Each structure stands twice: as C-alpha cells, then as structure tokens.
Structure 1
Amino acid sequence: MGADELDARKSVHVVDYTPSTEVWYSDGSVVLVAEKTAFRVHGTILATHCEIFKDMFAMPQPVTPDPNAETYEGCQVLRLQDSSTDLKHFLKTIYDFTYFRPGSKTKFPIVAAVLRLGTKYDAPALRQRAVDHLSTAYPFSLEEWGRRASKRLVPPFENELAAYIELAIETDIRVVLPALYYAASRVPLPDVLTMLHNLAVAPGVQWDVCRAFLVGREKLLLAEQASALAFLQPDFPRSDCRGGSCRQRIDETAKKTLPKPVSDPEPFYRWCMDKPDEMAKNIALCESCQGTVATSIKNGKQKLWEQLPDFFGLPGWDTLRARDGLDVNDDQDSA
C-alpha cells in the first residue's frame, strides 16, 4: 500500500468538527456532522421519527467492520449536507417536546428548519407540524385571514414574504401561496418586483413565480374593484331603500371615487373591501341601504377569496389543503 493511500485512509478519521453544546448525548449511537458541528444522538430515536434514517439503520451491517468507515468513540459518523443551525433546530424538536410544540408560538427559523429537514428525511409528523404553523400566518380561509394578527403561531418579521415564498418552493408547500400572493398584491409593485427578482430560487422557477404573481395580481385587482364597487352601478338592487337621497349620494360617490387610480396608497375600492360597514355609513346611506351595500361587499370578498388560488394559477383550496395535510374535514372536527 502506497504512502498516499495510507494518508487518505488516515484523513477519513480526522476530527475536524466541534461537538454541539446543545445536542450531545454521551450514550448516543451516531454522530451527525453538519458543516463543522457534530451532534451525538440515538439512531433508534432518529429512526422513530424519520423514514430515511429508519431505512438507513435497518440496512444489514457487515460482519467485519469497514476499517475506512468514519467513527467517533465507536459511534458511526454521518456527514450531512445541511445547515448546522437547521440540524440543531430539527434535533431539538425531536428530543425536546417544549422546543417546538403543536399550537405554540414558534419563530420562523425553527419552523423553516423543521419543514426543510422533515421533508428531506421524511419525518411526516414534524413536517405537518411546521405546515400547520405556517398556515396560521398565511391561512386558507378568509375568516382566518381576518384574525391572523392575533392567531398566527409564527411571529411576523421583516421581509417575511420572500422567506415564506422561498421556503414554500423549496419544500413543495403550496397551500400558503395564495395568501402570500394576496399579501404581496398589497405591496407597491416596484417593491414586489424587486423582492421576486431576488428570490433565492432557480432562475426558471423565479420567472414562473413572477409571472404567476403578476397575472394573478391583475386578475385580483380587477375582480376586487368590480366586487367592491358594484353598489355604484345604476342597476345595483336596493329594493328596501328608505332614503330618498341614497341614489344621489351613490352617484356623487361614483363621480369622486371611480377616477381614483389603483396605484393610490389606499384606493377607494380597497377601503370598501377592508371596511364595508364603515364605508356604507360614511356616505350617509339609509340604514337599509347601508346593510345591503355592506353585505354585497362582504359576499364579494368571500367569493374572491374562494377564487384566489385560481387567480394565481393554483388548484382550488380543497385540493391545496388535502395536498398539504390540511384536510377539509378539519373544519368539521373543530366545529
């Protein structure tokens, strides 16, 4: 055997990593190395949660140990192509139930790490927990969207739209995309285009995302205007009107608001969509017309939300929810 080969074999066993100060069990049976950090854990526990590790550890071991296999104090060493921070979050979630609990507020980096590695190593329960959390920030129902500020389990952070979109693409989660695109449509277009242009995804995927968003945004804005401003049309039904001046007030409102551009910081139609009751009172309609107009706008907004995935070239809500584990029967179970 030549000197070069001997040196190569020795280099396999060089300890070029540092044991983690947070995930290191002295009785662990396997050492996972990510970047320059090592985590000593138990193969049986990994196998319980992750199908990939289960299959890996189930493979028959040779009678005679491979002298070239890397070990640490008798433990098998596995070098992984993962972020050490992601792996730390993933392993702590497995070992410590309080670290990332179902239904508890958890920061995005932890949720993202669990989703990424739960997808990669086929840990369905952990992956689903992450999806459940993300869907509270960008939900599938209009009702949940209305109360997301107080109900979301992943606290907001700066520039989160890009981070969520990148994660959804990387892990093939689609159920959060309609709400993400909906939120992005509220951001000034130049800012959104800059954000999409800088997405950390493949160029072809970036183009697909940008095209889907722009086409969907155009459909959404047109549909919102038509729905929110339907009461301004002469043929809008107000059969129970008890105010003699309601038609005149509606005509005056139409003259003042219809020329207002979509690019305005708060176009009138969007104010109508966001605050239908306040808008109806503001233009001083009779009580009956106030209720009729507000109800029309609310119903239109609900219909728009139901169409939201289609605007952006995605399957319907039921398909998206079933695809990503948020089954349509969940609503009935929680009712």
Structure 2
Amino acid sequence: MATTSTSSRHFTRLIHRPAPGMSDKLAAGIGSGTSSGIDKKPSVTFDKSGTSLIVDSETEQVLRRHPDLYLEDGSVIVRAEDTLFRVHISMLSRHSIFFRDVFGMPKGGEGTDQLDGCPVLFLQDRAEDVANLLSALYDGPVLRDNSPDDFRVVAGVCRLATKYLIDTLRVKTIAHLSKAWPSTLKEWDAREDAARVHEIAFASANPPTLPRYPNPVDVVNLAREVDAPSLLPSALYDLSRYPFTQIFEDQSASLDVHDLQRLCLGKEAAQHAITTLIQSMTHAQFGRQFPYHTHIRSASKGKASAHGSAVCMSPAACRKDFAELVELATQHYLFDRERGCGDPLYVAEELGQLKSVEFSECAACARSLEAWAAREREKMWKMIPTWFRLESPTPEDSPRTSGELSR
C-alpha cells in the first residue's frame, strides 16, 4: 500500500481500485485503522421480490441508504458502518480542509469503482456521528441544552469537525459545550441554577428522568480527544463532587490514569478548601476580614456612617451569631459530611446566603458575610486549575482551530 500525506492519515479511505495516473495518496487505504488492505466494494443485487439491495461484496453485509442524506444530485457516496450517504463534493470541500485536499487529488479513470455513478468514500466513524456532521454542514448545527442526549450529538460533531479540519463547526460546538463547563464563575452559577431547577422539577418523576448534564467523565475524555483544555477545570471539578463509589461503579466510561490522578488530587484539594473556608470564617468573626464590620454602635440602626459605611449595631450578639454559624458549618460539612461537603463553591455560597437568617437584624454584618463569601468563591474558582494540576486556561486555549492543532 502506498503512504499518505500527513493531513489525510488516520482518517479515511477511498473505496476503489487504483487507476492509471491516479495519485498513490488517493489509491491507498489511509491509516492503520483500516481492517485490511482489501477494498470494500459495494455492489447492487436484488432480493426475491426484485427489490434492489446494496451489498458489501467482501463481507456480504447489506448496506442502507440514509433516508434523509442520500441526495439524488449528490456527487460522492460516503459510507460509515452500514450506512450510505450521497452528498456533494463541493459542500464537503467548502467546509473541510481535509476533504478539499482529498477531492483535489487527480481523479481515477475507468477502473475506479462507483455506485450510482458516484465514487465511494469509506469513513472509519460511527454512522450516527457522520449523519449528524453532514446534517450540521447542510442545515447548521443543532445546539440545544447540553443535556445527555444533546451532548451525544454535539460531541460526535465536535470529534469529526476536529478530525476533518472543519473549523467553523469545531468552534461552535466547543463554545456550546462551554456553556455547561464554563471558564467563569458567573457562568458556572447559571449552570448550577439550571441543574437545581431540573432536580426540583423531576425529583419525583416516575420513571426517573435523565440527569441535567452528561457524565463529566465523558466531557473530560472529549476535551482530551479534541484538545479543548478550557473545558477541563469545570468538568473535573464537577466530577470531583461525585463519591468515588459512583465514579468507579459506572463502567460506561473511564478516565485515563493521568486524569484519574488529577481527579484524586483535585478532590482532596477541594475538600481541604472547605476546611480552610470555615477556618477563615472563624477569624473573620472578629472583624479582621470584614471591612464594613466595624463593631461601632450608631444612633441610626442600619444607616450608613459619616464615612458611607454601614456599621454593626450589636457587636456582642453578632460575634455570638458568627460563633454559632462556624460551629454549625463545622458540624454539617466536616463532621456529618452532608450535602455539599465536596463542593466548596456551594458551601461558600450557602454560608453567604445565611445573612437573611442569622443577621436579619444587622444589615452591616449581613452584607459583610455576603461580601466575604463572594470573595472566597472567586478565590476558589481561580484555584481550580491548580487543584487539578491543570494549566490555567488562556484565551488562546478556548477554542483552538483545527489548523492550529495540525501544526
């Protein structure tokens, strides 16, 4: 078999016999992923009722035309698994650098195998993913809500867009996935709000509904496969909130050894961050970290001071409330390990929201607690790449183009 160019290797093979004058690159089976050096030639036959069938002459497998993507005026037939797609060379070449190079090679002569008057291109990809990719090229990508079903479709398109150098689809799909695994705390909070609404709405559903988002293991693996490092911090953080029993009992997907190590280190760091958070709160109760908590009595309860800062109206009572709050948080998150015990962002958010309960009579302390929690959450968010031993995401990382990946 002849060798192929770097841009074509590992992706596909053309189904034909070498013809005089045809480029060796086009005539050869491409990459080591092909099952053999023998061409898989489809042929037309008929069943007993006279219905025409397309059969793989090597395996005798019956092939089917895709119901929506076998176009009468198509100029090339793409085969994936047992499915045939008849599409346009011009459409593939317009969007894909890879296909543009393949179809730009010298054409074969009379010896080239054809089906329905078109050359046949065999792709070593799942038929479902190829169908979704071609639909996205013709009709635009369908980007929904990052649910498990949506992720299955978008991930398949993203893989093939990366593989076949279709930059427009690659950028769009990674941007869509970034809404569920974002790089900013504000977007993460919006994601979590949607998850909580879903959890409440479907908590008593029978039969149980799918989770709001897909398994983060699949997201981590996809990010590695398509080189989208901007998805990794939030995906690994999301996964770190799962108990190890749940992570390891699910056999549908698994991390490689390096990401598994990152997960363990990050999970430990996240749990330690909760201890540090509560310890920080212990010191903050004495006014060291709350700039507006001055412990100065004022004749005007809840009003701003002469310097424009609200002041604590009842320092003794507030110190007592802080002490009780620290004790409660320690018991709940560190000893009892209740909900959120592995999610420091959630813990900090919940502590900050206790202002309306614990400090309803002191606006200054309520605001101080809320501001403290917001600052701590921002600090933790910035630390996530470090917790999981990842390089900090940069604008250049999210998302890179296929051309840059091939360099």
Q: Identify whether the pair has TM-score above 0.5, normalized to the shorter chain.
A: yes
- The equivalent of 2:221 in structure 1 is 166
Give the whole-Å Cα distance in 1 for the aligned partners of 2:326 and 2:222: 43
Q: Indicate yes or no: 2:234 matched with 1:179.
A: yes
Contact 2:96 2:164 in 1 (8 A): yes
Between Structure 1 and Structure 2, how many residues are aligned? Answer: 305
Equivalent pair of 2:281/2:326 in contact (CA under 8 Å): no
The equivalent residue for 2:388 is: 312
Conserved 8 A contact 2:359-2:365: no
In structure 2, the gaps of 5 or more residues are: 1-36, 44-53, 56-62, 196-209, 296-311, 402-407
Q: What letter matches 2:256 in structure 1?
A: Q
Give, in whole Å, the separation in 1 of the partners of 2:38 and 2:163: 30
One-letter identity of the residue aligned with 1:29: S
Q: Is 1:323 matched up with 2:397? A: yes
Paired with 1:273 and 1:164, the residues of 2 have a C-alpha distance of 26
Separation of aligned partners in 1, 2:115 and 2:133: 22
Aligned to 1:3: none
CA contact (8 A) 1:35 1:84 kept: yes
Aligned to 1:297: 373
Q: Cα–Cα, structure 1 residues 301 and 228, in superposed 2: closer, same or farther, change >3 Å?
A: farther
Alignment correspondent of 1:43: 89
- Which residue in 2 is equivalent to 1:81? 124
Deviation at 1:158, TM superposition (A): 6.6
Counterpart residue number, 2:259: 209
Q: Over residues 232-270 of structure 1, what are the superposed CA-to-partner deviations in whole Å (9 max), with x where a residue is unaligned?
A: 226552442321222222223334442442661226876
SS in 2 for 1:315: coil
- 1:264 pairs, out of 319, 325, 337, with 337
Q: Distance in 2 between matches of 1:219 and 1:145?
A: 19
Q: Which moved more, 1:159-168 or 1:108-117?
A: 159-168
Q: 1:254 to 1:73 in 2, by over 3 A?
A: closer
For 1:198 and 1:263, how far apart are their aligned partners in 2? 31
User: Cα gap change, 1:133/1:289 in structure 2, threshold over 3 Å: closer, same or farther?
Assistant: same
Q: C-alpha distance in 1, partners of 2:252/2:145? A: 28
CA contact 1:240–1:289 (8 Å) conserved in 2: no
Match in the other structure for 2:357: 282
Residue 80 of structure 2 corresponds to residue 34 of structure 1:
yes
After superposing the two structures, state which structure 1 stretch, 277-286 or 24-33, moved more: 277-286
Q: Does residue 304 of structure 2 align to residue 254 of structure 1?
A: no
Look up the match of 1:199. Answer: 253
Asked whether the 8 Å contact 1:227–1:301 carries over to 2, the reply is: no
The Cα shift of 1:35 comes to 0.5
Contact 1:28 1:40 in 2 (8 A): yes
Give the AA of the match of 1:79: F
Measure the CA separation in 1 of the matches of 2:40 and 2:252.
40
- Conserved in 1, the CA contact under 8 Å of 2:151 and 2:214? no
Change (3 A) 1:127 1:156: farther
* Native 8 Å contact 2:287 2:294 kept in 1: no
How big is the shift at 1:29? 0.8
Match of 1:23 in 2: 69
> Which of the numbers 150, 153, 157 marks the counterpart of 1:110?
153
After superposing the two structures, state which structure 1 stretch, 252-261 or 13-22, moved more.
Answer: 252-261
Letter in 1 for 2:323: D
**How big is the shift at 1:184?**
1.8
SS for the counterpart of 2:338 is: coil
- Give the structure 2 partner of residue 4 of structure 1: none
Is 1:53 matched with 2:53? no
The one-letter amino acid paired with 1:298 is: A
Query: CA deviation digits over 1:177-226, x for unaligned, max 9?
Result: 1111222222223213434x7525xxxx6211111011011112222432
Q: For residues 211-226 of structure 1, what are the structure 2 equivalents within 5 Å?
A: 211-226=261-276
Residue identity matched to 2:398:
D
Shift of 1:276: 3.8
Q: Residue 250 and residue 308 in structure 1: after superposition, are their counterparts in 2 closer, same or farther (change >3 A)? A: same
> Structure 1: which 5+ residue stretches go unaligned?
1-7, 328-335
One of 139, 145, 167 as aligned partner of 2:188: 145
Instruction: Find the residue that maps to 2:353 and give its secondary structure.
Output: helix
Q: Is the 8 A contact 1:47 1:54 kept in 2?
A: yes
Considering only aligned residues, what root-mean-square deviation do their CA atoms show, in Å?
Answer: 3.0
Report deviation, 1:41. 0.4
Percent identity reads 24
Q: Letter of the aligned partner of 1:312 in structure 2?
A: F
CA positional deviation for 1:163: 2.5
- Which of residues 122, 132, 142 is equivalent to 1:100? 142
Greater per-residue helix proportion: 1
Alpha-carbon distance change, 326 to 42 in structure 1, aligned in 2, over 3 angstroms? closer
Counterparts of 2:185 and 2:339 in 1: how far apart (Å)? 20
